[in-house]
Structure 1
Amino acid sequence: MMRSVLFAVVIALPVIATAQDNSDKTGSIARTDPAGILSEQQVRDRLAGEGYTAIGSIERDTDGIWRTTAMKGDTMMSISVNPGGAIEDR
């Protein structure tokens, strides 16, 4: 009997895990962050470490790319930081 219950639990776990509600309060599907994606604070720290100042608000798009504006020297730039941490400015 115990073996049957244990087997049923093992079989049901993947089904239960995929049935979790990943929706936010607006009803859209919430994005879950895979391990290794930089947090907003890590992006700010990385940009500051590379000499960017006056870092604006940072938003992440659906591809996981962080976007913001920041000063580099006397020039205001549009900045993107990919999930791996590579910085691109324009």
Structure 2
Amino acid sequence: MTGSGGLTAAEVAGARIPVRRLGSRYDIDDVDHFLDECRSTLEAWERARATATGLSAGDVVTTSFGSPRGFTPGYDADAVDDLLDRIVVRLRELAG
């Protein structure tokens, strides 16, 4: 996180999420698409410094991702969930 400003769109864009072949993991394409939406929402807030459209904290909390089949690589579910938790906190801060 960045100081008192919280998580930024750039930090979401630059997040490095571990990839796993076994265990609890999420589909990479599903997560990447959703994180792009999160980044776009945060960018809108950063530009406008006022109420922005896009995802709400509730949208992030209720999202779900598919799991890759077999030994297909996927993002580590715990790492994704940790990043989403940080996004929720930031969106709640921004929404007041």
* Greater Cα radius of gyration, structure 1 or 2: 1
| TM-score clears 0.5 | no
Q: Higher relative CO (CA 8 A, sep ≥ 6), structure 1 or 2?
A: 2
TM-score by structure 1 length? 0.24
Say which structure is richer in helix: 2
TM-score by structure 2 length? 0.23
